[in-house]
Every structure is written in C-alpha cells, then in structure tokens.
Amino acid sequence: MIPESLLWVSIVVVVYVYVGYPLLLWAMSSVFPRDGPTTGATPSVSLLVAAHNEAKVIASKIHNALALEYPADMLSIVIACDGSSDATAEIVRSVAQKEGAGRVQLFDFSQNRGKVGALNEAIQQLSSEIVAFSDASSMLAPDSVRRLADHFSDPEVGAVSGVYRLLKKDEADLGSQEDFYWKYETFLKVREARVGAFTGAHGSLYAIRRALYPFPPLGTINDDFIIPMRIKQKGYRIAYEPGAVAYEEAREMEGFSRRIRITAGNMAQLREFKGLFWPPRPLTLFCLISHKLGRLLVPLALLTLLTCSVILWNSPFYRWLLFGQLAFYFLATLGAFVRLRPRFLRLPYYFCMINSAFFAWMYHARRLGSLIPSRVQLDDIGSRREH
C-alpha cells in the first residue's frame, strides 16, 4: 500500500505543479481581475546596469538605452562597473563623452564584490524617484521604461517587472524549448500579478521606487527575487508588465550550469517565506509554495514515481505506466544527442534537463556542505554570467 500511495501522491504533485496550479490561477485571476496602469506618468528614472567584464556588449547597451522613448531630461543611464578587468569602463567613458550628452554616468568601482555590492553602492548615489535595473546583455524595447513607469502612478505599487523574450531561437540547441518555457512562465506571472500575489521579477528588466531599495546583503544570489520580495513585505504590490520587453539571445540562456544556479537560487528563496506569515499574506504564500516550492518537489516526485512503478510491476496498470515513463525518458535521452523533428519532440529532453538540475545541485550542496548556497559557492560550480 505504501508504494501505491507514494506513486499517486507523486502523480498529483507533478500534475498539480505544471497543470493544476496554472488552471487554478487562471480561474482565480478571471474572477478577481485588476485594472491596468494609468498612462502618462513620467517620474525621474535611473536605468542602472551592473557590469563586470561586459566590453563586448556595453556600447550596444548604452546606445539602446539612449534610444528609449522616454523624456531625455527624466531618464539617466547609470553603469556600475564592478571591478572589471577588461575595457568596460573605458568604453563607457568614450560613449558617454561622444554620445551621452550628460545622460550617461559611470561608477567605476575598483573592487569586484558581485552584482549586489555594486548595486548597493550605486543606489546611494542616485536621486531619481525610480530605479530600473537591467542586464548589460539585454536590449530593451523602445517603450519598455515608459510602460514600467506607468505603473508607479499607483501609490500601492512598489516594483514592476518587465518580461524578456528570446532572439535567434534557431541558433540555439534548445532555443524553441526555452522560448516555450518562458511563455509558460509569463502566463503564470501575469496571472499571479493580477491576483496581487506576484513576488519576483525578471533580472533583465524591472523597476522599483528608489526609496524602497532594501540593500540586500552581499552574496545574495537572486537579487531580482529578493529585492521585490522585500518590498512586498513592506506592504507594497509588485506589478507585472508584459509590454515592457527586454530581449536576450537564446544562446545566452542555455547551459546546464545555469539551470543548477537557478535551482540553487530557488533554494535560497525559501528563506523569504517566513516574511509572508506575519503580517499574514496567505494568497501570496499559496502562490509561492505552488510555484517555487512545487518546482523543487517535482524532481523528487518523478524519481518516486519511477521507483514505485518498478515495485508495482506485477500490476498491469502500473506496468503500462512504467512503460510510458521509460518511453518518455528514452525520448529525452535521444533528444540529448539528436535534433529531433518536429521540435516538440525535444520537450522531454528539456523537461528532464531542467528537473535533473535539482539532483546536480544536491550533489554540489553535499560537497559544499550547504543546501542554501552563497554566491561564492555558486561561482565554484560555474555560471553563465555573474551579472
């Protein structure tokens, strides 16, 4: 009875996290819709980019920022150069002198302390009402900052997240699968924001009220989750604006080490749950558990499901269930070595890849002696990009 019970619990966990919760969230958001932002707000905005060894992209980033459709006298571009050993700072100075017209500001920090360290120091030297954060490699849609700023006409809004979309999907091995995954994630985030339960943000583009910046401790991993979450704990709402688009090349989003880093970041986010118990925010806590904690439980549920199916082999129903799982994992294994067509046949590989990152992290966590990692420990594993 125990293997059978565990098998069905595992099925419920997987189905709920990937199908049941989205459907429930869709129903909830349909019953309690939120009004859109008021347009026309133009608060002063600083677009802050933390950059470490970004010489290849920093000039393009500044040109992109200067072309944004926002009043020039209300938007400044701030580059926090975090101890770069390449020509990042020199390029910023050159572009600022030739094209910045006083709108580009450089903070050239000599010591590399990580992204959060650069942000903490730079924020103290800004005076704008709003600070928008963006990655050096993310190119922004012309109206993106304006769309973010519109939300701050509501005094209850403390932060707003944009969305990112993938470019050159065909040039990446899993570009189409990554694009599908982020469209799915965007659906969830839009619905969570509509019911007032959205917590994180996309690091490629989000904005906050400068006065609410929480100065997270050095070593914070997912600053794009921690910063909005701390603002929400102060009683403000986190909005989501899918019309504020940041573009990333699909190849920049690949890599198994990046998936391990995301898993580790999700583990670190568990610390923030306690801030939702008092004052109580049950809806936000429910969505966070269903979305974030649920994703961490799925790999364990998949392993339990496979193990229990083997144990229950003598039952015809569970035997066919086992065959179905083996066929799925065979297709996933094949997808790791062959570019299957049509492209949806590579979804099993992508699904297994993002979930197997949990077990890879558990291995590293055991070696490092910590389930909830520090930034230094993550750097020991290796990652796509620090900033």
Written as one string, the DSSP assignment of 33-61 is: --PPPPTT----EEEEEEESS-TTTHHHH
Nearest Cα to 216, choosing from 374, 385, 53?
Answer: 374
Say whether pLDDT at 382 is over 60. Answer: no
Give tens-digit pLDDT for 206-242: 999 999 999 998 878 788 999 999 999 898 999 999 9
pLDDT band at 371 (very low <50, low <70, confident <90, very high): low
Strand order in the sheet with 45-51: 104-109, 75-82, 45-51, 130-134, 205-209, 157-167, 237-249, 139-140
Report percent pLDDT > 90 for the chain. Answer: 60
Sign of CA dihedral 228, 291, 162, 198: negative
User: What is the Cα–Cα distance from 191 to 230, expressed in whole angstroms?
Assistant: 21
Lowest mean pLDDT among 40-49, 255-264, 294-303, 331-340: 255-264
Query: Residue 242 and residue 151: Cα distance in Å, rounded?
Result: 12
Cα first-last separation, the chain: 50
Of residues 269 and 42, more confidently modeled: 42
173-188 pLDDT, tens digit per residue, is: 666 777 788 889 889 9
Q: Note every long-range contact of 277-284, with CB atoms under 8 Å and residues 24 or more positions apart, other chains counting.
A: 279/235, 281/232, 283/195, 283/196, 283/197, 284/196, 284/197, 284/199, 284/232
Q: What is the pTM of this model?
A: 0.86
CA-to-CA distance for 8 and 321, rounded, in angstroms?
12
What's the confidence (pLDDT) of residue 364?
Answer: 77
- Tokens standing for 342? 């049509």
User: Other CB atoms closer than 10 Å to residue 369's CB: what's the count?
Assistant: 7
Distances (CA, A) of 207 to 103, 237, 238, 357: 18, 12, 10, 30
Q: pLDDT tens across 58-113, in order?
A: 999 999 999 999 999 999 999 999 999 999 999 999 999 888 678 999 999 988 88
Higher pLDDT, 93 or 264: 93
Q: Tell which wins on pLDDT, 124 or 167.
A: 124
Q: List the beta bridge partners of residue 356.
A: none
Architecture of domain 45-254: Alpha-Beta Complex (3.90)
CA angle 269, 272, 273 (to 5 degrees): 105
**Beta carbons of 70 and 47 less than 8 angstroms apart:** no
pLDDT value at residue 336: 85
pLDDT range class, residue 34, cuts 50, 70, 90: low
Sketch the domain layout of the chain as residue ranges.
1-32+297-387, 45-254
Average pLDDT of every residue of the chain: 87
pLDDT tens digits, 280-327: 889 999 999 999 999 999 999 999 999 999 999 999 999 999 999 999
Reply yes or no on whether the pLDDT at 27 is more than 60.
yes
Give the residue with greater pLDDT, 38 vs 151.
Answer: 151
Measured CA to CA, the distance from residue 348 to residue 330 in angstroms comes to 9
